[in-house]
Chains A and B, each alone.
Chain A
């Protein structure tokens, strides 16, 4: 009985942490209660224990934010550790060379999880952010991540309804299947206004022992989508990242 209760408490703690997101990184107790559907008194108790552990911080504005202890623990995870560390210098150079938005993403639960994103004053605004998720079939990095999965995975993905954020998003399974085959064949993906109107993207895989562990991509204004030039630059960056990953192992 005690174990059952314990797990319920832990469930609720994870629920409280889970209601923080990119658009909700600072929440009041009332907001946490509304988002979790937990009683205010329950929230108060759980939040208090999360604050003691440093997993949440309480600001002077009475809002709670994800705490430094949690951030520190997150730095010891494999995503921050090996991949980000190995990729960052190459991504920085890529950004220098192109002046465009650079993204690095991995596959996470059927979506593209953005591990890193570099953007400057010159580059086009995008919807991707580090730590954020976007669909696989509407983003350059996502298409690469999906294209290099086993056939069963791809078919499973195609059997689900395909989101259509813009008019140009590919939401027909047969068309997407053909598009993914092309990605595998030529070794890079292209999107044109499939996620955001006015922008396009190119992405290439980061292949370790034949397995696609991540994808690196560039998002540009549609008029600047110079495929040949960008693919060459991306391939050089991907090769550097693969070397750096190998160096760390």
Chain B
């Protein structure tokens, strides 16, 4: 295995499956992995339920993880991810090599667009949101850093899918979940759209993941021109002028891609 983006490996299942094994490390990882977007604060009982580990085991592991600063206990007795994990997270490749480099460029786009700006990478058969800037001026978006969203229903996802390999496209097109009335669930239709995205260099979605939201996205390239991430803007669907953001995104993506290529991103398989 060469990196965290190997399809399937970083999906929830890996750690959960691991939990059943004899390794204490695996069980501790499963405990940490049970925290996600919708389970940011959990009681011992909830952790036990979600990991399938006995309460006594969870009690012991949680206590130990708290001692190391990997978990922290809130005033209400529930647990949340501790500052040690957060600090370690800032050392990951997605953070150091992509997020930190991309942030100033995302700010530029945010100032111009006044809409939510995000970057995402491929993670198995989904996108992983690496960062987003959104404020009171922009619409409520589903994505937050760390969220995994479907490829075929998001602008950034369609870009990554369009420039992804045949194997990836086959796997994704095999089962297209519906999120709204406008989600494209017909494989030939999506396939045709992916070809267009490849040739025109940007993707558009209209209310395909959530009603009321529209998005445009462009690819970010690393060394050798490989597409390694996608940059997009999410706006309210009554914004008829979102396509005006395409040239802004393309100019930004060109400058950012140059910077990413300089830092060697895309060379190793780590960030693909």
Query: What residues make up the interface of A, taking CB atoms closer than 8 Å to B?
Result: 3, 6-7, 9-11, 13-14, 17-18, 20-22, 25, 46, 49-55, 57-61, 65-81, 85, 88-90, 92-93, 95-96, 108, 113, 118-120, 130-131, 243-244, 247
Given contact pairs A10-B24, A59-B3, A68-B92, A76 touches B146 in the complex (Cβ within 8 A): yes
Q: Are A60 and B83 in contact (CB under 8 A)?
A: no
Interface centre among B3, B18, B86, B133 (most CB of A within 10 A): B86
Task: Return chain B residues, CB-CB under 8 Å to A61.
Answer: 268
Given contact pairs A57-B4, A76-B81, A130 touches B146 in the complex (Cβ within 8 A): no
Scan B87-101; emit 1 where CB is below 8 A from any A CB, else 0: 111111111100010
Q: Are B89 and A57 in contact (CB under 8 A)?
A: no
Q: Are A17 and B88 in contact (CB under 8 A)?
A: yes
Q: In the complex, what residue of chain A is closest to B82 when comparing beta carbons?
A: A77
Q: Are B268 and A71 in contact (CB under 8 A)?
A: no
Q: Are B24 and A53 in contact (CB under 8 A)?
A: no
List the one stretch of B25-33, B199-207, B226-234, B244-252 in contact with chain A: B25-33
Task: Return chain A residues, CB-CB under 8 Å to B35.
Answer: 73, 76-77
B175 sits at the interface (CB 8 A): no
Task: Return chain A residues, CB-CB under 8 Å to B39.
Answer: 76
Task: Return chain B residues, CB-CB under 8 Å to A60.
Answer: 2, 268-270
Q: In the complex, what residue of chain A is closest to B17 when comparing beta carbons?
A: A52
Q: In the complex, what residue of chain A is closest to B123 when comparing beta carbons?
A: A68
List 9 A-B pairs, minimum CB-CB distance, nearest first: A75-B146, A74-B89, A131-B90, A89-B135, A77-B81, A68-B4, A71-B92, A53-B29, A49-B25
Chain B nearest CB from A245 CB (Å) reads 12
Task: Return chain B residues, CB-CB under 8 Å to A57.
Answer: 3-4, 92-93, 270
Task: Return chain A residues, CB-CB under 8 Å to B14.
Answer: 52-54, 69
Task: Return chain A residues, CB-CB under 8 Å to B144.
Answer: 75, 81, 85
Scan B20-52; emit 1 where CB is below 8 A from any A CB, else 0: 000111101100110111011000000000000
Q: Are A69 and B4 in contact (CB under 8 A)?
A: yes
Chain A nearest CB from B208 CB (Å) reads 24
Q: In the complex, what residue of chain A is closest to B80 when comparing beta carbons?
A: A78
Q: In the complex, what residue of chain B is closest to A67 when comparing beta carbons?
A: B4
B134 sits at the interface (CB 8 A): yes
Within the assembled complex, what's the spacing in Å between the Cα atoms of A128 and B108? 22
Q: Report how many A-B pairs have Cβ atoms within 8 Å.
A: 198
Task: Return chain A residues, CB-CB under 8 Å to B86.
Answer: 74, 77, 79-80, 131
Within the assembled complex, what's the spacing in Å between the Cα atoms of A138 and B23? 44
Given contact pairs A60-B268, A73-B81, A131 touches B91 in the complex (Cβ within 8 A): yes
19 additional contacts (CB under 8 A) given A73-B33, A88-B133: A13-B25, A13-B28, A21-B91, A53-B18, A53-B26, A54-B14, A57-B3, A58-B3, A60-B268, A66-B88, A66-B89, A71-B89, A74-B88, A75-B144, A75-B146, A76-B81, A79-B83, A89-B110, A89-B137
Within the assembled complex, what's the spacing in Å between the Cα atoms of A50 and B80? 21
B225 sits at the interface (CB 8 A): no
From A10, A71, A85, A89, give the contact of B25 (CB < 8 A): A10
Q: Are A65 and B32 in contact (CB under 8 A)?
A: no
B103 sits at the interface (CB 8 A): yes
Within the assembled complex, what's the spacing in Å between the Cα atoms of A70 and B128? 13
